[in-house]
């Protein structure tokens, strides 16, 4: 168990404050507590899904959140609600794909995609663009199907990160580290910030930081120009043996003094959930 040598130190601080904050590098942490962690820090700190949290933490109702540059916080769930979602797909609206007879060779390339590859996420985003899936989403939310694809990729960000206690008080930290933006879709006054995942099972317990952190990139435009920012979780998973895309569209991001409240469940409201059975795309293509 990776965290076991430090559990006593965690427990002392958590009993006192409800959290443990390590503000130096993960390498320093390993040396101080003789931690046997042989992989890179993100393997232990940057956890996309709640199920990736280590049992020695979750058995105590604790969870870890990366704060950048190898620093992290361990939080007690009884005092700080965990910032991981529990998404439902029961009310998903199915998007019916319009046939497209052009670009036959590219359509065959899409059909041969190996969904098990990490690179499948990027290709699936382009598949959604080609088959006008994004047009349907944009039209439903913004009232017009017109859009442009904008900036994507990683950048280093520094911002205030708040954790809300269950008594409605806040603890403030500073996130300083890399943030990845998978895709951004723009209308005249709105940006949809897209986090893409392609996994074989579930994916519904995704961490809110995967959508909230890249949304923070546009906070100046929100404040100065009235830009609206809607996070979107773009998930390819398997349902009843079929490859299905789910697009979870969240309400507009709200920021606290230019920062993010990571674990405020009231900010996770959904506007729409869409689904697409991608196995049915171009079934007649030869």
- Residue 36 sits at φ, ψ, to 5 deg, of -90, 80
- Contact call for residues 222 and 255 (beta carbons, < 8 A): yes
- Ranges of residues in the chain with a pLDDT under 50 are none
Per the domain annotation, does 87 fall within a domain? no
Domain housing 179:
93-280
Tokens encoding 199: 């996994």
Look up tokens 């965290």; give the residue.
Answer: 3
Strands 71-76 and 62-68: antiparallel
Are residue 186 and residue 244 in the same domain, yes or no?
Answer: yes
Domains contained in the chain, number? 2
Contacts of 73 by beta carbon, 8 Å cutoff, 6+ apart: 19, 20, 21, 22, 64, 65, 67, 163, 173
pLDDT of residue 98: 76
**Alpha-carbon span 228 to 251, nearest angstrom:** 10
Q: What is the layout of strands, in order, in the sheet containing 93-94?
A: 93-94, 270-277, 242-250, 228-239, 190-198, 183-186, 148-149
Partnered with residue 66 across adjacent β-strands are 72
**Alpha-carbon span 54 to 139, nearest angstrom:** 41
Are residue 189 and residue 234 in the same domain, yes or no?
Answer: yes
Are residue 103 and residue 68 in the same domain, yes or no?
Answer: no
Are residue 109 and residue 65 in the same domain, yes or no?
Answer: no
pLDDT of residue 11: 97
Are residue 151 and residue 117 in the same domain, yes or no?
Answer: yes
Contacts of 23 by beta carbon, 8 Å cutoff, 6+ apart: 67, 71
Per the domain annotation, does 219 fall within a domain? yes
Q: What's the residue count for the chain?
A: 286
Are residue 120 and residue 223 in the same domain, yes or no?
Answer: yes
Are residue 237 and residue 143 in the same domain, yes or no?
Answer: yes
**Alpha-carbon span 114 to 103, nearest angstrom:** 20
pLDDT of residue 286: 65
Contacts 24+ apart (CB under 8 A), 112-120: 115/198, 115/200, 115/236, 115/243, 116/200, 118/198, 120/198, 120/236
Are residue 161 and residue 269 in the same domain, yes or no?
Answer: yes
Are residue 45 and residue 146 in the same domain, yes or no?
Answer: no
pLDDT of residue 281: 87
Per the domain annotation, does 48 fall within a domain? yes
Per the domain annotation, does 109 fall within a domain? yes
Per the domain annotation, does 265 fall within a domain? yes
Three-state SS at 207: strand
Are residue 213 and residue 141 in the same domain, yes or no?
Answer: yes
Per the domain annotation, does 285 fall within a domain? no
């Amino acid at each position: 168990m990776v965290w076991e040598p430090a559990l006593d130190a965690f427990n002392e601080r958590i009993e006192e404050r409800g959290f443990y904050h390590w503000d130096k590098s993960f390498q320093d942490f390993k040396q101080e507590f003789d931690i046997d962690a042989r992989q890179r820090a993100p393997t232990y700190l940057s956890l996309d899904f709640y199920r990736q949290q280590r049992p020695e933490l979750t058995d105590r109702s604790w969870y870890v959140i990366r704060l950048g540059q190898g620093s992290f916080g361990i939080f007690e769930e009884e005092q700080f609600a965990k910032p991981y979602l529990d998404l439902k797909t029961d009310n998903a609206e199915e998007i019916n794909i319009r046939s497209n007879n052009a670009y036959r060779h590219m359509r065959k390339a899409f059909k041969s995609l190996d969904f098990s590859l990490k690179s499948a996420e990027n290709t699936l985003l382009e598949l959604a663009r080609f088959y006008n899936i994004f047009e349907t989403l944009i039209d439903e939310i913004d009232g017009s199907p017109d859009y442009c694809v904008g900036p994507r990729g990683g950048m280093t960000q520094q911002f205030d990160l708040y954790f809300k206690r269950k008594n409605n008080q806040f603890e403030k930290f500073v996130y300083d580290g890399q943030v990845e933006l998978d895709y951004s879709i723009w209308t005249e006054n709105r940006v949809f910030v897209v986090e893409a995942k392609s996994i074989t099972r579930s994916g519904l317990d995704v961490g809110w930081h995967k959508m909230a952190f890249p949304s923070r990139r546009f906070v100046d435009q929100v404040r100065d120009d009235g830009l609206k920012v809607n996070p979107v979780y773009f998930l390819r998973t398997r349902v009843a043996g079929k490859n299905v895309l789910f697009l979870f569209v969240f309400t507009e991001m709200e920021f606290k003094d230019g920062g993010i409240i990571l674990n405020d469940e009231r900010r996770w409201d959904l506007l729409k959930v869409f689904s697409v059975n991608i196995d049915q795309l171009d079934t007649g293509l030869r």
